[in-house]
């Protein structure tokens, strides 16, 4: 008796396909503001309140998405961001935070991504790697691109770093300049995304900057002759949104939805499931994480 066609075989779920790509060390992680907020860090509402109070703004209609305009106003009045950056650095790095106890940060390290892009200005990812004594190389500007210690995870600070005022993408002007997509880090991203799948976590799709980034990545592929060979990328969504899911799929990004309502727990559970699946794949192939790194 002839067996049924292989077409009837079960197709892997998005999480299973993603785990296989992570096990092969092909996936680049994009880590957004959510992973820092789960540590208890302030969001941009506090920045808006701080600047508005200092500059005696009386507007009550400012939304959290207006922070680039508020930062721009601060720059216009003061001529530089140094004092504001110092205030943010202090507020975003509370000494009461113990990142070594963060499930999300530890799972990111355990998943052994070769490259991590982050739009966060803070140093909690770097601190988590240091706490675990895992080698990493921070990239915040063009000079950093010339160095990469062997076997170190690259942490690319896509919107800059508190240690370098010039690197910060915080004001409206800096965001508009970033939209040209022609900075050294943009060029590096273009090269990376042409060869590897991306995984986005900790992002809100209400953020126009995130949506614009995904749009530009799609444009890169649409303008090539090899769009059919684009690696599948993924985004973890803490809340379902059918309209966004449809648009994301049209742009080559597969949404993976949370299984519970609390965003922090949902993200940790998702990463934990991924880690379990990746470990199972590695065991089935007789490989350990060190062997996977040597194969890279």
* Residues 6+ away with beta carbon under 8 Å from 156: 115, 116, 117, 118, 139, 185, 188, 189
pLDDT tens by residue, 260-290: 889 899 999 999 999 999 999 988 877 655 5
Q: What is the pLDDT of residue 82?
A: 94
The answer to the question of residue 133 being in a domain is yes
Nearest Cα residue to 236 out of 15, 74, 9: 15
- Same domain, yes or no, for 58 and 155? no
- Same domain, yes or no, for 165 and 280? yes
- Same domain, yes or no, for 168 and 199? yes
Indicate which CATH number applies to the domain containing 209: 3.40.50.1220
Q: Which domain holds residue 231?
A: 14-41+98-295
pLDDT tens by residue, 203-217: 877 777 778 888 888
In whole angstroms, what is the distance from residue 144 CA to residue 1 CA?
Answer: 62
pTM for the model: 0.89
Low-confidence ranges of the chain (pLDDT < 70): 1-8, 287-296
Helices and strands of the chain, counted as H and E runs: 13, 7
- Same domain, yes or no, for 64 and 193? no
């Amino acid at each position: 008796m002839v067996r049924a066609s292989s077409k009837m075989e079960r197709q892997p779920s998005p999480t299973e396909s993603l785990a296989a790509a992570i096990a092969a060390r092909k996936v680049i992680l994009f880590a957004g503001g959510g992973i820092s907020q789960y540590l208890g860090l302030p969001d941009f509402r506090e920045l808006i309140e701080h600047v508005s109070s200092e500059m005696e703004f009386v507007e009550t209609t400012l939304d959290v998405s207006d922070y680039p305009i508020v930062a721009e106003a601060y720059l216009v009045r003061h001529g530089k961001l140094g004092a504001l950056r110092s205030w943010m650095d202090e507020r975003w790095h509370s000494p009461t935070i113990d990142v070594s106890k963060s499930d999300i940060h530890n799972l990111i390290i355990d998943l052994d991504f070769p490259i991590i892009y982050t739009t966060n200005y803070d140093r909690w990812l770097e601190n988590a790697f240091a706490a675990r004594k895992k080698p990493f190389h921070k990239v915040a500007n063009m000079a950093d691109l010339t160095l990469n210690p062997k076997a170190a995870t690259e942490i690319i600070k896509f919107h800059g770093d508190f240690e370098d005022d010039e690197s910060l993408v915080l004001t409206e002007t800096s965001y508009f300049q970033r939209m040209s997509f022609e900075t050294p880090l943009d060029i590096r991203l273009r090269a990376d995304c042409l060869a590897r799948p991306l995984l986005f976590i900790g992002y809100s799709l209400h953020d126009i900057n995130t949506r614009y980034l995904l749009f530009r990545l799609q444009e890169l592929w649409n303008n090539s002759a090899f769009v059919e060979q684009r690696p599948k990328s993924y985004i973890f969504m803490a809340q379902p949104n059918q309209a966004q899911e449809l648009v994301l799929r049209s742009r080559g990004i597969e949404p993976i939805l949370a299984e519970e309502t609390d965003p922090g727990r949902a993200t940790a559970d998702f990463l934990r499931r991924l880690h379990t699946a990746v470990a199972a794949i590695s065991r089935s192939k007789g490989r350990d994480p060190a062997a996977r790194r040597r194969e890279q």
